[in-house]
Amino acid sequence: MKAIKIDAENRKVEEIEINNLVDMQEAVGGFIQVGYGFPDTPDVIYVDEEGLLKEPKNFFALDGQTEILAGNGLVIGYGKLGESIDAEITMDYIKGKVLWMDDLAVACYMAFMQIAEL
């Protein structure tokens, strides 16, 4: 199935093919967990559940969202029965929304988002 890999270490976004759970875990670099669900599509971003524990820490966020995700991400669809399906969101959309971050950028982004919520 069609998926989009958000490669935080190399700061690139690319389309990849996923066939099974092993492929999904390989794409994120560890055991998967849902990091973000898109409100208008059945797509989710899976991340490595231990992304915060790994060095170096590579972060990304989506422009306009408060969630900051550690490690690589994998955008894939989530079916009504819980099955993985092709991503509906396009690679160009993700490329336009991804913000690459280091530790300092994470601190500044979080401070800005807290002020914006006031």
Can you give the pLDDT of all 118 residues of the chain as single tens digits? 999 999 998 999 999 999 999 999 999 999 998 888 888 899 999 999 888 888 777 889 888 777 888 889 999 998 888 889 999 999 999 999 998 887 666 667 667 766 666 6
Provide CB contacts within 8 A for 14, sequence distance 6+.
Answer: 4, 5, 7, 91
Sort residue 108 into left (φ over 0), alpha (ψ -120 to 50) or beta.
alpha
pTM above 0.95, yes or no: no
Confirm if 99 and 62 have CB atoms less than 8 A apart.
yes
Q: What is the largest CA-CA distance in the chain?
A: 44
Sign of CA dihedral 57, 7, 48, 112: positive
Identify the H or E element spanning 96: helix 91-97
Q: Where do we find the tokens 């099955």?
A: 83
Beta bridge partners of 6: 13, 73
Instruction: Confirm if 62 and 75 have CB atoms less than 8 A apart.
Output: no
